[in-house]
Amino acid sequence: MTTDLIPGPTGAAAASLAGALEELVGRTPLLDVPLPGLARSVRLLAKLEAANPLASVKDRAALFMMRAAEESGLLPTAGGTVIECSSGSTGISLAALCARRGHRCIIVMPDNATEERRLILRELGAEVHLVPHQDGLLSAWAYAENLQRTLPGSWVPHQDRNPANVRAHYETTGPEIWEATRGRVDVLVCGVGTGGTLTGTARYLKERTTLHVVAVEPARSAVLSGGEAGPHGIPGIGAGYISEITDLSLVDEVVAVGDLDASATAREITRATGLPVGVSSGAAAWASRAVTAAPRWAGATVVTVFPDSGERYLSTAR
């Protein structure tokens, strides 16, 4: 298994001129992660989604969903109202796009969302509605849908059932990984929240190569593994139900990760790379290390997704 990569641009060659926020979404780098305890012959490459303009993988889905709504007439190109249920990152990405377009933005969030995420949303002009986290995400969606009924003409992206969420990763994340690895990727490890990132990326890559796909979920809400939904400490994954857009036929293995293991591994990554990463990145890295400890993966190239930066979680004890 060879692991040659296309070298990325450096210095002046890396500079570019963007005319709008949208032009900055995507084309994020792959980082060779020296994760302690990783099998010596295994190469772990992480897609650094914090390099997106709003510092998360959700920039991709938010942009594709909003463009699709504008093209279909569900949302005007300016002056509309967007309501979405989000634990943080999707809401932040939508709020930024709304600010640029002049849309009213209302984000329904669990009341245990970190203060950093609430502050960023309000700075972007979004209205934040907090709902009890213990009631679960489905209850939060019901709140958002009831709110929509009181605001005629408003649009709810519904990221958990919106095909544009999957398309964003089929058309951008998957091709970027394919190009950067020259098509030499053996394992994809991806956390599952709405399932858009895993489904779109895995579908693109599996159409082109033999690939082992690992879905990562919280041990305390291991619904993909057949367990019960429940509160957990890994923001961004583990919605507590399997969304409409999650294609389980693409998944070859499911790994459930404990909250403490995810947090500890996030700290390991920060110490090893100098980059603060979110807890869900820690979960993905922990799963990558656990899966590739098996002898069958000697010499493998493993690609995982680090969804966001750890700066949004600093107020949460890790």
Give the span between the Cα atoms of 263 and 168, in whole angstroms. 28
Contact 111, 133 (CB under 8 A): yes
For the chain, the distance separating the N- and C-terminal CA atoms, rounded to the nearest angstrom, is 36
Task: Give every CB contact of residue 177 below 8 A, 6+ residues apart in sequence.
Answer: 30, 47, 185, 188, 201, 205, 303
Contact 208, 190 (CB under 8 A): no
Tokens standing for residue 237: 């994954």
Question: Per this entry, what is the length of the chain?
Answer: 318
Give the span between the Cα atoms of 280 and 47, in whole angstroms. 13
Contact 106, 81 (CB under 8 A): yes
β-sheet bridge partners, residue 140 = none
What is the three-class DSSP state of 214? strand
Give the span between the Cα atoms of 99 and 22, in whole angstroms. 12
What residues are labeled active site? 58, 280
Give the span between the Cα atoms of 290 and 295, in whole angstroms. 11
In angstroms, what is the C-alpha Rg of the chain? 19
Strand extents, DSSP E, the chain? 30-32, 43-48, 81-85, 104-110, 127-131, 187-191, 212-218, 253-257, 301-306
Contact 59, 25 (CB under 8 A): yes
Contact 190, 251 (CB under 8 A): no
Tokens standing for residue 133: 């986290």
Contact 273, 31 (CB under 8 A): yes
